[in-house]
Structure 1
């Protein structure tokens, strides 16, 4: 479902009939200029933050000015969200990833969500803790992560 608003970027919405509980994820970056140079604050927000086990559909919308993505990673009982090590390239290890929403205006894996676009993925999640991350270079280290609790 593409909608054009007359701007240079396209907008789209997820299907209305996605299965299970829908978690809406906002991917944001805001530029900040100071005497020390440019700094970009990045955020990933998910609502709700607690869901029931079973089918969970993630609807990720890029509200920023850069490409973003959503990767769902399990958290071990001893892990804290936001504490994963990053590679020299600024990415976390995706081993064990359960799914990804990075196809602009579509489901699953793609090249990343363009600003103003939405992507989605549906997963069958067991009870536990999960970390939602943007794994574009250096985005995790700048704050693009959130915890999801599945009961």
Structure 2
């Protein structure tokens, strides 16, 4: 949603650069690194998401997403955290987050190595999680916290 300011200028969407990274397909994927897990040790992650900046103002936000992996497909999904103290709903049998129950706000679907994509969404103030939901990736630590300020 574009808003006109006092001087009649149009406010541009906030721009967030997102890197989807991993240490290579030959690295063993540790498990138990999902958001809000007890005893979480993010230093064990062999893949992850980096978002700059990590916080923006509420309104239209554009995520420019690049898969910086050399050999693995990744994606980025924006999840609203209704309760930041709780983990996202996880389907063990599918080794992935239940996107419908988790508050999916939009995504850049599977990107091949070196590929890029973009997503523009209107976000209200609150806490969000950017995740890769390719089976196993989220549980291996492929997520980043993201804040939308009022």
TM-score bucket of the superposed structures, by smaller chain: 0.7 to 0.9
What's 1:121 paired with? Answer: 119
Q: Deviations over 1:65-93 (max 9, x none)?
A: 2111010110013435xx33432221101
Q: Which of the pair is proportionally richer in helix? A: 2
Supply the distance in 1 between the matched residues of 2:131 and 2:99 (Cα, whole angstroms).
10
Query: Of the candidates 41, 45, 52, which is equivalent to residue 47 of structure 1?
Result: 52
Number of residue pairs the alignment of both structures matches:
118
Gaps of 5+ in 2: 1-11, 30-45
4+ runs deviating over 4 angstroms:
none
Supply the distance in 2 between the matched residues of 1:59 and 1:79 (Cα, whole angstroms).
27
1:73 corresponds to 2:46 = no
How much is the aligned-residue C-alpha RMSD, in angstroms? 1.7
What's 1:89 paired with? Answer: 94
Please state how far the C-alpha of 1:39 moved relative to its aligned partner.
Answer: 1.1
Gaps of 5+ in 1: 1-18, 103-111
Contact 1:132 1:148 (C-alpha < 8 Å) held by counterparts: yes
